């Protein structure tokens, strides 16, 4: 499973309660859609750290890294040393 698919599956299961009919584009903002709040972001961070084996630094906890499937995918790939 690639990074984006893993993230999408986590979001659908944990924040959409498995409802795959909800439209969710790769660059749709979680905050603007009201999908994830500040507590939910902590769940996402925990998932990222566990699933992909990376540690998020405090200064990396910003919307540019966490506000969409695409943003998280690019962040994870950068942390893993993959060019994006």
- CATH value at residue 49: 1.10.1200.10
Q: How many domains does the chain have?
A: 1
Helix 38-52 to helix 3-15 angle (10° resolution) is 140
Helix, strand and coil percent figures for the chain, each rounded to 5: 55, 0, 45
pLDDT tens digits for range 4-27? 999 999 999 999 999 999 999 999
Contact 61, 45 (CB under 8 A): yes
Domain assignment of residue 47, yes or no: yes
Q: Which domain holds residue 75?
A: 3-17+28-79
Gyration radius from the chain CA atoms: 12
Residue 9 domain flag: yes
22 part of a folded domain: no
Residue 11 lies in a domain: yes
Question: Which among 74, 67, 76 is positioned nearest to 33, based on CA atoms?
Answer: 67
Residue 23 lies in a domain: no
Query: How many percent of the chain have pLDDT more than 90?
Result: 92
84 in a structural domain: no
């Amino acid at each position: 499973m690639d990074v984006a698919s893993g993230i999408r599956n986590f979001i659908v299961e944990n924040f959409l309660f498995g409802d795959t009919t909800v439209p969710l584009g790769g660059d749709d903002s979680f905050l603007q859609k009201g999908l994830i709040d500040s507590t939910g972001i902590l769940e996402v961070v925990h998932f990222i750290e566990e699933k992909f084996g990376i540690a998020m630094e405090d200064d990396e906890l910003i919307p540019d890294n966490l506000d969409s499937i695409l943003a998280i995918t690019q962040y994870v790939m950068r942390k893993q040393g993959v060019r994006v």
